[in-house]
Structure 1
């Protein structure tokens, strides 16, 4: 028996989700159900897996089960980037083929999402806006120079953007320089996730607000025990990210980290003119511990920084901590936009995700009839989409070059030290990174 110890417990102040209309009432797990396949977790990975299973098996009964509402969890809480380029650690991989495989997988995910958005008319502020990676001072500029060398080695297109040109887009001269890469897309993540959930094939049934408390092996497969019902199935696909360890799999191999964002109300015409900013752009920091800044299509400014080790997920962060984080975001906002100092934040939220010490993603089979993709290492929208899709291919025995590629670039996340050493080490490293990167915050 695998018993869930800690369930999702996200804050109620995610701006992306609050901006959406109220959803239809949830359909919950009640009574005993039987299904050919069950997908747990309705984020990017779970949605993609369920959709692909339905495509392969149009007459199968497929249940997609989530502990919360679709779009409410981590997949609806990111900063709205769908990134094609791997993050810095993956770009430093010594094997050029490894990096090309990652690029190909991420770009296949982008193509897949764009097709679905067009086919189903999903309104999610989808935009081929590209992405800036910005530097403030000498530390950031050194990271930016290193990023430029990695892009040149990879043969990827990019453009250096100096302070004055950058200020005409961002509305702030806070940044010294940036590198613009064209392959990134921007979106409203909660809207995209909800739209994907609402456009699934007919043989996928979505059960929300239905946490699975236990996963038990039986003579005929698996029994998934909820609060008010259970599901019997021979096949379970876990799109549960950090919560995979709560089912007894990949324990002591995933690190639960939460990052936080705040956003403003939509800026007025006068405020936009005051700073001279454009709408619809995104900037990530050259120094990975710095600050991400976004302007949405509806002219909200987003500040994202601050990381926490969250062994109890949302329960690790209390209201007082969120208030301090919000003030840190306000300082970063005022440093960039002193002309907008009176513009308030309306929402501050966090989202938990999984990283691994060796920056390795897991993809594959965990037990008889149990498959998982876990640990996106911070590239969740693209990686979740493609890994969930290919996980379904693996389950049904399909073959493809992409499946070969994802097997080649994934592996087993390394073991973590035991507690309390793990928590002390991760927290210390996060604080040390924030201190070193304070000039970029």
Structure 2
């Protein structure tokens, strides 16, 4: 039995968009040269690149939900060029340079697509801030500066008074600004990419695949009202890859939660007195991510949960508690805006591995995957999906060589219940240790 996505219906990004055009669901018997399962950043990139390589092939892209409703449309809207978190600690400089090159290739690709198709998604080359609240955060920030020097990447110190003019709050002691990242509206970007695929890509939405089997050399994907048969299956299914029997004991399902305000009024903006359209990530990884969007909403993200049953692991009581925690973080930074409500609170599930390794390549004959983005789905999903399509059709590029060198096999997890207990304890410990930065 395949456990399906069960995302909440309260994603602020999705609610801020107009009603999406309806795409058909899968019905009847279908045959395709290639099937891509999962229409997030990875799956969309796979389908697009396959179509470019094989313009006369029939390519089917199928998703259990509407495009933009899953994890790719639920992140905080950062497209980060730098190696992320633990990848930045890697001892091999060449490894980190390859990651940097791959991420920037993804950003260039997305930048070109946004311009070509005029995708209205608040796409902007604003860079990002990495902020520290207290001594613990400042120690992490000092280490981040060391890593930037080691990587040879540009950065700028921003002191508290300068930073408050940007953020509209004096809550932070200082920050380091890096110029290479982009900000965007993730649900709008994913939807825009899905609306502008090549003509030989056929999209089926709201069509969860309930079983996968092989018959006479073809893979058979069974949905509620139809079936697809194909010799070549590409999985852009992230954590759900394990539901099809692959990487089953190697991926950890983690859900991150965010909340945001309604758009601030003109009067509230005068009280706020900061700038529009910036993003700050915490120097301490378990701290608070903060954003001001182009449409004047303030976003808070600082909650992580282990979700073995995906969205079903979180009930309404838990979401109310998360909203309350986010509100406390919000008014700590903006007490003068305490009357402004957090109108939406939502979560998104992603996959991490214990050794922070991404999987890329062939799982078995005719089945390929890019899985386990370790929390950097926009850039990594885009470039890994693109290069997986290259790999499947036999196209050789230097970028394909690079991604094969920086990926591997996610490590095995301990059995349950030890896995769940360990992950929960680790998240709680990180939350307690980082309490001064939240």
1: distance between equivalents of 2:99 and 2:23?
36
What residue number does 1:87 align with?
84
What residue number does 1:295 align with?
292
What residue number does 2:353 align with?
356
1: distance between equivalents of 2:374 and 2:269?
34
Residue 181 (structure 1) shift: 0.2
1:58 equivalent to 2:33? Answer no
Of the candidates 282, 302, 310, which is equivalent to residue 285 of structure 1? 282
What residue number does 2:114 align with?
117
Post-superposition CA distance 1:121-180 (Å, at most 9, x none)? 100000000000000000000000000000001100000100000000000000001000
Contact kept in structure 2, 1:88 and 1:147, CA below 8 Å: no
What residue number does 1:393 align with?
390
1: distance between equivalents of 2:369 and 2:213?
16
Q: What is the aligned length?
A: 438
Of the candidates 394, 402, 405, which is equivalent to residue 402 of structure 2? 405
- Other structure's SS at 1:231 match: strand
2: distance between equivalents of 1:246 and 1:321?
25
What residue number does 2:9 align with?
12
Deviates more, 1:364-373 or 1:25-34: 25-34
What residue number does 1:28 align with?
25
What residue number does 2:138 align with?
141
Contact kept in structure 2, 1:53 and 1:393, CA below 8 Å: yes
What residue number does 1:270 align with?
267
Residue 346 (structure 1) shift: 1.0
Post-superposition CA distance 1:195-222 (Å, at most 9, x none)? 0000000000000000001110111220
What residue number does 1:72 align with?
69
Residue 26 (structure 1) shift: 3.0
Contact kept in structure 2, 1:52 and 1:393, CA below 8 Å: yes
Residue 269 (structure 1) shift: 1.6
2: distance between equivalents of 1:108 and 1:206?
26
What residue number does 2:174 align with?
177
Structure 1: which 4+ aligned runs deviate by more than 4 Å? none
What residue number does 2:369 align with?
372
2: distance between equivalents of 1:74 and 1:245?
16
What residue number does 1:257 align with?
254
1: distance between equivalents of 2:29 and 2:67?
22
Of the candidates 156, 159, 163, which is equivalent to residue 159 of structure 1? 156
1:430 equivalent to 2:427? Answer yes
What residue number does 1:189 align with?
186
- Other structure's SS at 1:179 match: strand
1:320 equivalent to 2:320? Answer no
1: distance between equivalents of 2:306 and 2:16?
28
Residue 266 (structure 1) shift: 0.5
* C-alpha RMSD over aligned residues: 0.5
Alignment TM-score, normalising by the size of structure 2: 1.00
Residue 16 (structure 1) shift: 0.3
What residue number does 1:308 align with?
305
- Other structure's SS at 1:343 match: coil
Contact kept in structure 2, 1:129 and 1:182, CA below 8 Å: yes
- Other structure's SS at 1:127 match: coil
Residue 268 (structure 1) shift: 1.2
1:101 equivalent to 2:98? Answer yes
Contact kept in structure 2, 1:71 and 1:190, CA below 8 Å: yes
What residue number does 1:43 align with?
40
Deviates more, 1:208-217 or 1:266-275: 266-275
2: distance between equivalents of 1:38 and 1:231?
8
2: distance between equivalents of 1:185 and 1:293?
15
Post-superposition CA distance 1:3-35 (Å, at most 9, x none)? 42x100000000000111111223000011000
Contact kept in structure 2, 1:39 and 1:238, CA below 8 Å: yes
Of the candidates 223, 226, 233, which is equivalent to residue 223 of structure 2? 226
Alignment TM-score, normalising by the size of structure 1: 0.99
Residue 381 (structure 1) shift: 0.2
Post-superposition CA distance 1:409-435 (Å, at most 9, x none)? 000000000000000000000000000
2: distance between equivalents of 1:400 and 1:179?
35
- Other structure's SS at 1:384 match: helix
- Other structure's SS at 1:382 match: helix
Residue 403 (structure 1) shift: 0.1
2: distance between equivalents of 1:84 and 1:372?
22
Post-superposition CA distance 1:350-399 (Å, at most 9, x none)? 00000000000000000100000001111110000000000000000000
Contact kept in structure 2, 1:16 and 1:77, CA below 8 Å: yes
Residue 271 (structure 1) shift: 1.1
Residue 275 (structure 1) shift: 2.0
